[in-house]
Amino acid sequence: MSDNIIELKNLSKTYKGGITAVSDFNLEIKRGEFVTLLGPSGCGKTTTLRMIAGFELPTGGEILLNGEDITKYPPHKRPINTVFQRYALFPHMNVYENIAFGLVQKKVPKDQIEKKVKKVLDLVDLEGFERRKISTLSGGQQQRIAIARALVNEPEILLLDEPLGALDLKMRKEMQLELKAMHKELGITFIYVTHDQEEALTMSDKIVVISEGKIQQIGTPEDIYNEPKNAFVADFIGESNIFNGVMTGHLKVRFCGAQFDCVDDIPEGTHITAVVRPEDVIMTAPEEGTIRGRVDSVIFKGIHYEITVVSGKNEMVIQSVHSATPGNTIGMKVDPDNIHVMIAEDNTNIFTAEINKNYNLEYNGSEIAADITGIIKGSRRLEDGSVADARGEIVDTEKVRIEVAIKPQDIVMTDEHESGIVDGYISNLIYKGDHYSYVIHTDLGQDFVVDDEYLWNMEDHVGLLMDPSKMKFRVKR
Ligand code: ATP
């Protein structure tokens, strides 16, 4: 028999209204593994769990259990039990009756039920609680009963859907450790759902990061933390500085307005996303840094300081045991090993625009002729020119940022550099068969890649013209 207890093959679910909650999941879960499905609210975690449990039928793909196709089996035919966030205990029954309920239904002999209930109560550390009423138990105790009730059926797989979500922080931490210990003792497979990255990192053997119905990365907690596959994972797991950049040579990468050495061998001229963890930024004297910036804020966090530094249009968050003084200029460098470079989805330029006081989109002081009510879902312009979001609240122009994407072939270079939305100097030039690919440095610390059939010279000062109808917009979190 293979090591896999569960295999999801091209599993998909589109609900009746047309929402695709799960799109083409391929996942193997080993017997005895602790696997966590991790992702923001609405990403499809619960739907996946419900399909594994049999409460929901997939619209595509299959689910194998020990190699057998169980996609269409009803829940009770699967050796799987689920623990939900809301404990779903029967309030009018005592602890014993709650745990014994399923076994009584199955007509298991009374003496066996008694033995089994005692065993699981021991396991969840609530021996002697048999006669207690549910209403007299704390949240943590109720959740343990819910777990005991699932375990009493001796499932091969235990599904846990945000089981600690309703508990306070201290209780949650305690229960995390207990669940982990329980998993070890029982040796069965746990499939756990959470949106809490710390919880996932602490407990799991394997993490499946999900966003918008798609698996983004599968790996051990270390893999996911140290080698995030894309910007979403890097952003979601732990704190990260994320920059758009471009490869400017062999093991040379440019982002944040400077060139860094890196260890990822990616072809020159490729758009990349660079991720730097706050703890990996080294503060130096201004003249010794790869980049320089002004200290904007310093917060003491107990073990370290969290220091925010502004460098051009970029912001770098640093965690250090050393403090810094707001207003001072410092240097920053990063070891090549600690710069995680990922190829951007395609060579699209991505930059962040702001909403100005007229509630129009603006970049580098120039307005972009795009209506923000078409960008922020459900928003509308009010009579005084301001814009209200779907909930009717005025959009906070200090906080809301809009990510703009535009392809290299949709940007036009002009030597009238003042007429562009932004200007800069050509710093790289690669011939790509039927066109040239240029990298344009701007003094905003943002580089653009532009495709053009004509040959320009290195160091030419150019303006970049961008047609708003060629731009794609996304509201940044
Ligand atoms: P949360 O952490 O908030 O529970 P989740 O990651 O578990 O989120 P799901 O509950 O799987 O996400 O939902 C994924 C998407 O499917 C959401 O857009 C949700 O609105 C939609 N959805 C879930 N259940 C149904 C349903 N019965 N009918 C229609 N759409 C649904």
Confidence bin at 396 (pLDDT 50/70/90): very high
Q: Which of 47, 56, 164, 209 has most ligand 1 atoms within 8 Å of CB, for mutation?
A: 47
pTM of the model: 0.73
Q: Is the CB of 84 under 6 A from ligand 1?
A: no
CA 45 to centroid of ligand 1, rounded, Å? 8
pLDDT of residue 87: 65
CA 283 to centroid of ligand 1, rounded, Å? 44
CA 98 to centroid of ligand 1, rounded, Å? 28
pLDDT of residue 310: 93
Q: Which amino acid, one-letter code, is at 459?
A: E
CA 213 to centroid of ligand 1, rounded, Å? 9
Q: How big is the CA angle at 127 (ends 122 and 128), to the nearest 5 degrees?
A: 160
Asked whether residue 380 carries a pLDDT value surpassing 70, the answer given is yes
Q: Kindly provide the b/e burial profile for residues 433-472, where b requires at least 16 CB atoms within 10 angstroms of the residue's own CB.
A: eeebbbbbbbebbbbbbbbbeeebeeebebbbebeeeebe
Structure tokens at 196: 């809490």
How far, in whole angstroms, is CA 334 from its chain's centroid? 24
Task: Please tell me whether residue 330 adopts helix, strand or coil conformation.
Answer: strand
Asked whether residue 1 carries a pLDDT value surpassing 80, the answer given is no
Ligand 1, atom 24: closest residue by C-alpha: 47
CA 355 to CA 365: how far, in whole Å? Answer: 11
Q: Is the CB of 469 under 6 A from ligand 1?
A: no
Structure tokens at 69: 């196709």
- Percent of the chain's residues with pLDDT above 70: 99
Q: Is the CB of 36 under 6 A from ligand 1?
A: no
Rounded mean pLDDT of the chain? 91
**What is the pLDDT averaged over residues 451-456?**
90
Q: Which of 45, 162, 211, 212 has most ligand 1 atoms within 8 Å of CB, for mutation?
A: 45
Q: Which range has the worst mean pLDDT, 123-132, 133-142, 214-223, 427-436?
A: 427-436
Burial of 190 (0-12, 13-18, 19+ CB in 10 A): buried
Q: Which range has the worst mean pLDDT, 127-131, 168-172, 173-177, 323-327?
A: 168-172
**What is the pLDDT averaged over residues 86-96?**
84
Q: Is the CB of 47 under 6 A from ligand 1?
A: yes
Please state the φ and ψ torsions of residue 187, each to the nearest 5 degrees: 75, 10
Residue keyed to tokens 């969840």: 124
